[in-house]
Structure 1
Amino acid sequence: AAVAHAFFGMENIKVVILYPKGKISPLQEKLFCTLGGNIHTVAINGTFDDCQSMVKDAFDDAELRAAIGLNSANSINISRLMAQICYYFEAASQLTKAQRENLVVAVPSGNFGNLTAGLLAKAIGLPIKRFIAATNVNDTVPRYLKTGEWTPTPTIATLSNAMDVSQPNNWPRIEELCQLQGWGLNELGSAAVTDEETAETLKAMFDAGYLCEPHGAIAYRALNEQLQDGEHGLFLCTAHPAKFKESVDEILGLDIPLPGPLAKHAVMDLLSVEQDAEFAQLRAYLMKVAG
């Protein structure tokens, strides 16, 4: 949605966004699939990993790249991560010096772009003691950190759908950065949280006076379980809880009011096209849109 709204109406730029059909919330879909104009959205019969695989195929196609002037606006593009670094400095600036010196940050992690940005912030001087990578049951990275074996499994649909990724694109960046900085991967905390645990945590947070969403609840749970004496914890969230209204309402027994932008798009028609997870179809579509 951020990419769609950022580039909407810009001259000489056409945007194509892929997403897994039926695997994001209806409000998520409405927020970026109702714009039209230069924003083209494609519902893929597959998973996020399928979408990402086809994006990589597109960049590997030299003829296609040259023909349409292909670029990326997601976390494949390092520029996205550069912008996210600012979040960490902004958060740390609100803490005391003592808190910053013992800061532990839990990051809800799917494609691992946000965590990469946090590690880059640390690399350029932000005094973060350590990070916790919090995933849902798509737990390729937590298992890898425990066993040393990279064994992705088929992606499972969860409440925290923005993290339903089994082969995170940014993990090689994290490994390379840690190697360059002399940080051991064993210094990186991790956790995998089930949907049942996510719902339980959302309820506990709400009872404590904090209305959260599933991704933030996963980060909070991991932080709460792993924070040590003398450390100060910070957990990140993904979006306004209303973006995941259906699941949050059901779990908490609420009717979350929609913020203005969400309410506006909720009543608009979807403009997406549907495709199978086949690069040939996507290639033809990209050529058509660019033409």
Structure 2
Amino acid sequence: MKFYSTNNKNISVSFKDAVFNSLPKDKGLYMPLSIPKLDAEFIENISNRSFQELGFEVAKAFIEDDIPEQELKRIVDETLSFEAPVVKLDDDSYVLELFHGPSLAFKDFGARFMSRVMAYFSQQNEVTLDVLVATSGDTGGAVALGFDGVPHTRVTILYPKGKVSPVQELQLCSNGPNIQAIEVDGTFDDCQDLVKKAFHDPDINKRLTLTSANSINISRLIPQSFYYFNAYRQLAINGIDDPVFVVPSGNFGNLTAGLLAYKMGLPVKHFVAATNANDVVPRFLAGQDYDPQPAIQTISNAMDVGNPSNWSRILDLFDHDADGLKKLITAYSFNDDATHVAMEQIFQKDGYIACPHTAVAWLAAQQYRSEHPSDDAIVSLSTAHPCKFPDVFPAPMRAKINTPEVVNDLMGKEQSKVKLSNSYDDFKGFLMAY
């Protein structure tokens, strides 16, 4: 399979090159030259396959022979070493729990897959790979754990000062010597901008072999499509088909992965993009101009993105046809006050403790249901464990959160971070000193 830049479909590269280069030189994003279509038999018999078998078939369709089947199977099996259960709330409402991995967030799927793909390719040429990643919360922890101790890799994680939760910061700053956390005095968009500038800086590229671990990297998106197929499998076992997926959205990688699954043939009735106050996409789908804004800080911090990179991929999937997008995607935004209320409502109604990102998705699910009354199964993606955000819950709810042992283990670890301004010169100086 070849991969092209969203800015130039006439130039294509191998999967390996797309993974390691992350960003094409024309500043587009890599996409598969064609979306592989899975045959009808695959979908008809999906309930007979395991999560790992589904992941392998999807990965193989994109990667083809760039990685030998036995190695690809190992990579997928190691990636999917934990479950992603669909949990029923009320009659037609479900939650897809994606937080049962080591960093307690959905980013584990992409980070674990990507780290193993990069390790497979890099062991062949013995070069040190420098992985740059900007995080608004959960990406950094997942990448740190995914790459911790991986040979021939150094990981530099940029996160905005004061805008990640204490547990998220522990996950960023308590890792092995090949992981470096940088606290940037700025926003997530500042962090993302620093990473993008580094990729296009000839001085840095002469010195370092750079790649990205953000969702701009195509190897992050492919494994995120696995759990859409697995969710459908779980619903199909119970005789449910054509679900509506509600996706909490920040940089829009998660929704892009769902749309890839849909384009591959997964039966999905509709997608709902749920955002917090950073509402550039809901405004666009409501008919306004696409107008990126500085990120607004919210309690659903992993979604605090004012200029989502992956939106260009979504536009590309639909040939920039806004009307076609609107037929398949509805978008809503909610502020912090509504999110607080929703967390308490879910707890009172279903006894379920939802993180703020999940609560935003639940609110969008409720609004979509009110506007489209039906008995369709609506599945909200739950992207992070609530223990990562203890300060946002009232005391009675906080007391009922079951904190995994992995969080308690973090408390005793030594922490390390570098503090930088949001000046590119400062970041370049740090990288050039490597």
What range describes the TM-score normalised by the shorter chain of this pair?
over 0.9
**How far is 1:268 from its partner?**
2.9
What secondary structure is seen at the aligned counterpart in 2 of 1:96?
helix
- CA offsets 1:11-66 (integer angstroms, 9 cap, x no match): 22110000001001011100121114110000000101111111110111133123
CA 1:251–1:84: 2 relative to 1, 3 Å: farther
Give the aligned partner of residue 189 of structure 1.
330
Amino acid in structure 2 at the alignment position of 1:12: H
- Shift in CA distance, 149/120, structure 1 to aligned 2, threshold 3 Å: same
Letter aligned with residue 333 of structure 2? A
Amino acid paired to 1:22: G
Say whether residues 1:214 and 2:356 are aligned partners: yes
What does the per-residue CA deviation read over 1:225-247, in whole Å, with 9 as the maximum and x for residues that have no partner?
Answer: 10331321000011111011221
**Identity across aligned pairs (percent)?**
42
Structure 1 residue 249 displacement after superposition: 4.7
Relative contact order (alpha carbons < 8 A, sep ≥ 6): 1 or 2 greater?
Answer: 1
Report 1:180-259 matches (<5 A). 184-187=324-327, 188-207=329-348, 208-227=350-369, 228=372, 229-250=374-395, 252=397, 254=399, 256-259=401-404
Specify which structure has the higher proportion of helix: 1
Contact (CA 8 Å) 1:45, 1:276: kept in 2 or not?
yes
Structure 1: unaligned runs, 5 residues or longer: none
* 2:431 counterpart residue number: 286
**What secondary structure, in the 3-state scheme, does the structure 2 residue paired with 1:70 have?**
strand
Note if 1:115 corresponds to 2:266: no
> One-letter code of the match for 1:272?
K
In structure 2, the partner of 1:24 is: 164
Q: Distance in 2 between matches of 1:266 and 1:163?
A: 25
- TM normalised by structure 1 equals 0.94
Write out aligned runs for 1:1-291 (5 A): 1-96=141-236, 99-101=240-242, 103-179=243-319, 184-187=324-327, 188-207=329-348, 208-227=350-369, 228=372, 229-250=374-395, 252=397, 254=399, 256-289=401-434
SS in 2 for 1:117: helix
Runs of at least 4 residues of structure 1 off by over 6 A?
Answer: 180-183
Contact 2:247 2:274 in 1 (8 A): yes
User: How far off its partner does 1:287 sit?
Assistant: 2.3
The 1-side partners of 2:345 and 2:424 are apart by 44
Quick check: 1:134–1:190 contact (8 Å CA) kept in 2?
A: yes
Q: What is the TM-score of this pair, normalised by structure 2?
A: 0.64
Distance change >3 Å, CA 66–CA 127, structure 1 → 2? farther
Over the aligned positions, Cα root-mean-square deviation in angstroms equals 1.8
Indicate conservation of the 8 Å contact 1:36/1:271, yes or no.
no
1:193-229, Cα deviation, whole Å (9 max, x unpaired) = 1111111111111112111100001001101210331
Aligned in 2, Cα 1:47/1:193: closer, same or farther, shift over 3 Å? same
What is the alpha-carbon distance in structure 1 between the residues aligned to residue 320 and residue 332 of structure 2? 24
Q: Is the CA contact (8 Å cut-off) linking 1:106 and 1:236 kept in structure 2? A: yes
- Where 2:159 maps in the other structure, the secondary structure is strand
Q: Which moved more, 1:260-269 or 1:237-246?
A: 260-269
Q: Alpha carbons of 1:62 and 1:99: their partners in 2 closer, same or farther (altered >3 Å)?
A: farther
> Deviations along 1:92-117, whole A, 9 cap, x unmatched?
1011386322x110000000000000
Residue matched to 2:31:
none
CA contact (8 A) 1:135 1:163 kept: yes
